[in-house]
Amino acid sequence: MNFRHIAVEELFVVGPAGKFGSLEDFPGLSFEEICSLQLILPGFPHSLRQLIDAEFIRHGSELHVFRELDALSHIPTLISDGYGYSILPLAAIADPLASGQVSIARIDGGSVRRTLALVRNSSAVVTQASLICEEVVLGVLTDLITQGVWQAVPEAGSSSKGGRGL
């Protein structure tokens, strides 16, 4: 497999409105504090779940997973209705956070992050069309980061043609 790293994004604890904070002002939580929360997380083999579990194991903490739900788009609704908490990137909760339906807290000083990448099967034939699609995707993602729509940090060395580097 060939990997082209795109960006790194931070994961946050997401709670009901008023429990934590907003994008402008949010508290921090330790791994131990998060372990006491009823969490709604993606199930296995979702890569986000694998990352979350690995981070908590690395810190010697055990999560209390209340429910598993693979449809990330439904998790913020469950949280805003008071069914639990989650650990998600800002992109997954942008609208409910902006409208005040959910709140966020930083995990352990911002230490839990994930790297996003474009992945290509190295044994597959690379077509001009696939290269163009890749550059369009990178350009759109670059624009989203530059405009502040997507809260991510460009990965060093990843760029798209035409000077629109990530």
Residue 152 lies in a domain: no
pLDDT at 155: 79
Do residues 151 and 90 make contact, with C-beta atoms less than 8 angstroms apart?
Answer: yes
Do residues 39 and 66 make contact, with C-beta atoms less than 8 angstroms apart?
Answer: yes
Do residues 91 and 75 make contact, with C-beta atoms less than 8 angstroms apart?
Answer: no
Total number of domains constituting the chain: 1
Dihedral of the alpha carbons of 109, 30, 56, 60, in degrees to the nearest 10: 120
* Position 27 pLDDT exceeds 60: yes
Residue 24 lies in a domain: yes
Average pLDDT of the residues in 79-102: 96
What are the DSSP E strand ranges found in 63-112?
65-68, 86-89, 102-107
Q: For residue 37, give Cα distances in angstroms to 15, 53, 64, 83, 166.
A: 10, 14, 7, 11, 35
CB atoms within 10 A of CB 85: 27
* Position 163 pLDDT exceeds 50: no
Residue 79 lies in a domain: yes
pTM score, whole prediction: 0.86
Average pLDDT of the residues in 60-64: 92
* Position 161 pLDDT exceeds 60: no
Residue 148 lies in a domain: no
What 3-state class would DSSP assign to 113?
strand
Residue 149 lies in a domain: no
Residue 81 is which amino acid? D
* Position 144 pLDDT exceeds 70: yes
* Position 1 pLDDT exceeds 70: yes
Range of the domain at 46: 8-114
- How far apart (Å, rounded) are the C-alpha atoms in residues 114 and 11? 7
pLDDT at 158: 52
pLDDT at 157: 53
Q: What is the CATH number of the domain that holds 50?
A: 3.40.190.290
120: which strand partners?
2
Picking from 51-55, 97-101, 115-119, which range would have the lowest pLDDT averaged per residue? 115-119
Average pLDDT of the residues in 115-144: 92
